[in-house]
Amino acid sequence: MIAVVSALGMTAVLSGCGLTGASGDVTLKLVAADYGNSAANSSEKYWGALVKEYEADHPGVKIDVSVYSWNDVDREVKKMVDAGNPPDLAQIGAYADYAAKDLLYKAGDVLSIPVQADFVSQLSAAGEVNGVQYGMPFASSTRLLFYNKSLFAEAGITPPRTWAELAADAQALKAEGVTYPYALPLGPEEAQAETLQWLLGGGGGYTDDVGTYGIDSPQNVETFTWLKNELVGKGLTGPVAPGELNRADAFAAFADGEVGMLNGHPSLMKIAAKKGVKFGMVPMPGADGESKRTLGVADWMLAFKKNGHHEQIGDFLDFVYSEKNVVDFSREYDLLPVTTSASRAMAGAEQDRHLKPFLQELASSELYPVGKTSWAEVSAQIKARIGKAVAPGGSPSAVLTQIQATATRAESAHQ
């Protein structure tokens, strides 16, 4: 069983699985990613139930769904597109490359006005290229600081609000023999997430106010200099070098009671609770107080133009994005709803109270610059290089400058 990770950090295990309903006059092919962590809660089951319900009321339409693991789904869609046979719909991790090649319907070409207007504004904006929405958000997540309540009680400390307090707490945890006082996963699995959360806390980010890459900005250099000197350099991030520590391993260590603090998303709640870890969650600390912005992540639904059927695509997507279906999906996989109506419903529901802190963070979240066709290349460079910025003898300024140079070249190449 191979565990893999989506843009949201969710694990999934299934390879390609086909789902087909009753025959009809029009067949829509949908390729979707799996958010489950076993066959019992696979997305194959989710889409199977959804398709059955839709086709019962739409006898002239057949939905043919193929579900792939996150290890395969983006590659499978690319193979279909390269072969000149794209699916009608793809629920995957990125959209900008296909939009740049004019392969996608605009969201407004397929969705009804009420459905398009119902998307959470931050997510809707992140789906735009040059002010036009092509990426339709399908699932979202934010981050909070998780801390081990038992370890904090033993060390006599309280959750931090600032970086200075976080470092002091980490020192106290280290003195108590905690293996990872603060787990800093800057390994290749999801380094771009941990990096952006820290940059936001330092008043920076990947881009400036007008969307231009500013990875080597003074604020960002200062942030990684602080991380190198005050956390990593003082032995407060555990026995594994941050550049070699992956998110999944950090989560597993937290569930095993070896981590005092780490930056986590909703799925960590279930992982930790299953192992009996008593944990708390607070907003991520920033340089001078709670971080004013937090990391937001989204996965996307794409509608390809090649086969036509925009009316049938739109009608099916209006069904997919109904309040009930968005709520059901979000509850099944501990993700945040991508629509305002579903967010409102879950914010007021007792059964969703564990997600409320993450929902509150969504309003102030900042997503990756996924509207840039250069982002995939830049993200790969961050994953490959950023750990070196905090390594012994490493230079935050030099590493960030190298990544910025890559970003500048990639941006020019895609214009």
- What average pLDDT does this structure show over 104-124? 96
C-alpha 189, offset from chain centre: 12
Confidence at 130, pLDDT banded by 50, 70, 90: confident
Query: Which domains are assigned to the chain?
Result: 4-140+297-366 (3.40.190.10), 144-283+374-413 (3.40.190.10)
Confidence at 8, pLDDT banded by 50, 70, 90: low
Half-sphere exposure of 307 (CA within 13 A, CB side): 19
Are 12 and 33 spatial neighbours (Cβ–Cβ below 8 Å)?
A: yes
pLDDT at residue number 3? 38
pLDDT at residue number 409? 95
pLDDT in tens, 283-314: 999 999 988 889 999 999 999 999 999 999 99
pLDDT at residue number 367? 92
Return all residues near 47 (Cβ < 8 A) that are at least 6 apart. Answer: 19, 30, 32, 65, 67
- 294-303 vs 136-142, strand pairing mode: antiparallel
pLDDT in tens, 380-404: 899 999 999 999 999 999 999 999 9
Q: Where are the beta strands (DSSP E) in 202-328?
A: 259-264, 279-282, 294-303
d(CA 127, CA 245): 30
Token pair recorded at residue 135: 């990426």
pLDDT at residue number 5? 45
Q: Where are the beta strands (DSSP E) in 93-189?
A: 128-129, 132-133, 136-142, 144-148, 180-182
Are 300 and 307 spatial neighbours (Cβ–Cβ below 8 Å)?
A: no
- What average pLDDT does this structure show over 229-241? 97
d(CA 357, CA 88): 36
DSSP code of residue 229: I
Q: What percent of the chain has pLDDT over 70?
A: 94
Q: Closest Cα to residue 178, out of 152, 216, 199, 160?
A: 152
Tracing tokens 């092509």 back to the chain, one arrives at: 134
* CA angle (383 as vertex; 277, 177 as ends), nearest 5: 35
Mean pLDDT (the chain) is 91
d(CA 126, CA 142): 14
- What average pLDDT does this structure show over 251-266? 96
pLDDT at residue number 72? 87
d(CA 159, CA 308): 54
